[in-house]
Structure 1
Amino acid sequence: MWRDLTGLTYGPNYYSDYLTPGWSVLRSAGPHKPDKPSLVRLAAAPDARYTARDKNGHLLAGGKFAFHEHNGRGAGGEQTQRPFHQFWFDDNWLARHMARAYGCPEPDGLDDDGGHVRWRVLSGDLNWTPHDRVRPPIRSDQPDRLMLDGLYYLAAGHHERALKKLGKIRATVNPATRLYDYPALRENYHVGLVKILVEQLLTVVDRPELILHSVSLRDLIIRRQQRETGTGRLLGWTSSVEPGGTLMNIESLAVNALALGAGSLATFEPDQTPTLPPGAYTVEFVMRSEGEAAARVDIVDPRSGAALGERGVSLDDRFQRVAVPISTAGGTVAFRWNAGRRPVEVAEIRVR
């Protein structure tokens, strides 16, 4: 979905009205009339590059490269619909967070005029109106709105309000996995948003239920990522939790990629040897056992066998975070744990 912007065209608009910072509605005006069917048809051409005003009225106006909405591919990477080579301002604002987090090239065309962009709140921007304060009232109980409001209140220093927003997701414990299920989250990008809020809450509130949320949501994100039929290559996330006829789009991809790395300095792919540049870090193990157990975790330099850090911990059947400070001259590291004969589940390892 990353594409050059050569020949970018502003044709018909997708929306007929736009939301402004006070959540008032402005009707479209000017030469670019709303015509969603025509835009969908025009932007499906293989060489098409279209832009239009997003729901807040912002226009991605140009540059060298940016993300378009989708390639028309769904579960397994199968081509199920026509692509939509439409470059949205708000989607690329969101994707820029992902690009910065993973050290990748950032999308162009994001001139900031200080207006309302719903994704500003991801970076702690308080120039934003939460949905539950809008007058006249609008629905504020949708999962994405709950999480964006939660991020706003957390940034404003009201973590109890943010926790209340999280509580409205109404997670239930699955007795088989001892993880949370989320029946109210029907879109994958909602799952990613909840994970982002949880990770930010964990920086100020250390609660067992938040740790369980973190592990449960990470499990869902990893399991629901699509793989290319035939090759197994990792692709992205469909819009819907149940793939059905839905597609993988840049919004779902960006939110879930952000969620997987949220709160960490380094991320490691499966089968990738962990490497770190020189410096001081905290390695955090998230782990539990099937019963009470005395365990030890340690981090070593596999080349020399030298210990970089270690810690003993008492485990039970609830996930807990075990932090181990280390200092390394740089290079590969190895993470190890042992609890004797007691089975131990390590849900994730973070480097902070």
Structure 2
Amino acid sequence: MPMAWAYLFVLVSATVGWQPWQHLPGVFDLAGPRSDGQLVAAAAGRLFLVATDGAIAPFAAGQAGYQVAAGPEAYLDVSPGLHVVGANCDFTRDDVFAIRPAPPIGITRVDPQGHASNFVDLTGVDSLNGIVFDTVGRFDHRLLVLGLRNQHSTIVAVDCKGGVVTITSTAPPLEGGFAVAPAGFGTHAGELVAPDENSGAIWTVSATGRSELLVASGIPHGGDIGVESAAFVPSGFTAHGGTAYVADRATANNPHAGTDNILRMPSSDVIAAGLRDGDLLVVAEGGAVTIDVRCRATCSSTVVVSAGTSAHIEGHLVILAAQPQPVPRSLPAVADLGSQRAQLLARVAIGALIAAILVALVLLRARRARRR
């Protein structure tokens, strides 16, 4: 790298960074925005509404509201109100969906009035550790939920009636704030993008269930250290401004102790770091080191915030444009979601093979009996 460019990179990465914005005890996730422009924050087992002017108000705190144990990371997402063709129904705009990582494992729905109810129970996993809406369309606008079992990730797609389709049960172990790649993100458009903090890798999972390494982050990795929160820079962000937000959770007895603050970064810093609309921004759990991932024919990653801090990042990264652009046309849904037909054919073939073996054994015993 020429000396001038090296100096420029050091100068930019030293001045670009996450800044404390609002204090919220126990904060570990952010989602949204809702139709009124507010974010929804999860903190200490409760929900809060966070306005862009910094005002914070309790949400779903009344009777039949939402309250869970303060420890588990019950990540959430906010419904953008999209239609699921395969189920012929719509998710209600502004409904909040939060995972239940401990038994009874499943998803809790909180309506815009703050009433909580069980949306669906999920089986076949030991815990849940990720949730995001498919806003692009390859998963037919379903709610994507991830759980762990036997050192692998199971990803399911849940429709607005609570119907569950398994996308894969053999993905790498993943956890944190996931995103779905927009239409302009090269060959990975419409795929689930998920970080693996332990290896430092960033993976994609297609609607047919194929897992593929997108890029190695190139930054420190390991438990409570590596890549955690991912989001795409929305259209209009670099032209008209906006802000990125992420949760910094206070974590006792950890090298990255956190501050219980919502952190933010203005678009001016994002632009100074060289990011473009459509790029993937990923923040590390330990220290909030941040990288920019850009994919065209191939993918590359660049560190944009290199100065590690005591921050302990959790949950989703939310990037809001000051002047949101029209939502791009959805990509067509994959006809064979999770390769269900292929899985069915495989099960039928296995069943037919077992049946053939059993018939052969019965015939063989019958012949031996006649010989006697």
TM-score, with structure 2 as normaliser: 0.23
Larger relative contact order, structure 1 or 2 (CA cutoff 8 Å, min sep 6): 2
> Higher helix proportion, which one?
1
